[in-house]
């Protein structure tokens, strides 16, 4: 399990720009990313396997095109329970806060790529502990927070 891409954007609803590394800020998200802030969807995750499946269906997409912050290999994000804690790199820890999301209207990504898999397969987390992350860094699944509430079908 490892990080295969990191991406940020200055504006919500757009494809993100790939970066080699990023600073993850506690209770905020990725430094310089439009989705960072004091809410429950500070960092977004998508498996590289999901992106590959989209390619196999004919979509011309790459990392960052679904506005995910972090793409990974070896983790089935959409089936992790809400509350699961995940260590990214040496020190950053996030807690899964939402599986999927409700899109009220098609976004720029949908129009550019022809589909958006984030509502079905994207996972969102809040940052418990900050740190630096880089492409190639390992990922470790930790135990769920003892005070975590919810299930793995939260789509708000």
Task: State residue 101's pLDDT score.
Answer: 80
pLDDT exceeds cutoff 50 at 155: no
11-16 long-range contacts, CB within 8 A, separation 24+: 12/67, 13/67, 13/107, 13/108, 13/109, 14/67, 14/108, 14/109, 15/64, 15/65, 15/66, 15/67, 15/108, 15/109, 15/112, 16/64, 16/65, 16/67, 16/68, 16/69
Question: Looking at 13-22, 86-95, 116-125, which range is the least confident one?
Answer: 116-125
Summary mean pLDDT of the chain: 88
Q: How far apart are CA 1 and CA 141, in angstroms?
A: 9
**14, two tokens:** 């757009």
For residue 102, with 0-12 CB atoms within 10 Å meaning exposed, 13-18 middle and 19 or more buried, which class applies? exposed
**DSSP assignment letter at 81:** P
59 or 85, greater pLDDT: 85
pTM, whole model, 2 decimals? 0.87
- Cβ atoms within 10 A of the Cβ of 140, count? 11
**pLDDT band of 156, cuts 50, 70, 90:** very low
**In Å, how far are 54, 113, 146, 151 from 33, measured between CA atoms?**
24, 21, 29, 27
Mean pLDDT of all residues in 50-68 = 87
**pLDDT band of 118, cuts 50, 70, 90:** confident
Task: State residue 128's pLDDT score.
Answer: 98
Task: State residue 148's pLDDT score.
Answer: 60
Q: What is the pLDDT of residues 72-82, one digit of tens each?
A: 999 999 999 99
Q: What percent of the chain has pLDDT over 90?
A: 64
Q: What is the pLDDT of residues 21-58, one digit of tens each?
A: 999 999 999 999 999 999 999 999 999 999 998 888 88
- Residue listed under structure tokens 């720009």: 17
């Amino acid at each position: 399990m490892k990080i295969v891409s990191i991406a940020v954007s200055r504006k919500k609803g757009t494809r993100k720009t790939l970066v080699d590394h990023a600073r993850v800020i506690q209770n905020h998200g990725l430094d310089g990313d439009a989705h960072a802030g004091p809410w429950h969807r500070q960092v977004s995750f998508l498996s590289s396997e999901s992106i590959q499946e989209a390619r196999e269906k004919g979509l011309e997409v790459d990392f960052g095109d679904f506005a995910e912050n972090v793409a990974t290999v070896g983790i089935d994000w959409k089936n992790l329970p809400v509350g699961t804690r995940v260590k990214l790199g040496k020190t950053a820890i996030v807690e899964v806060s939402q599986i999927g999301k409700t899109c009220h209207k098609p976004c720029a990504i949908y129009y550019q790529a022809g589909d958006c898999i984030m509502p079905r397969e994207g996972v969102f987390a809040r940052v418990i502990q900050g740190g630096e992350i880089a492409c190639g860094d390992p990922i470790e699944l930790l135990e769920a927070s003892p005070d975590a509430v919810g299930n793995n079908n939260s789509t708000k």
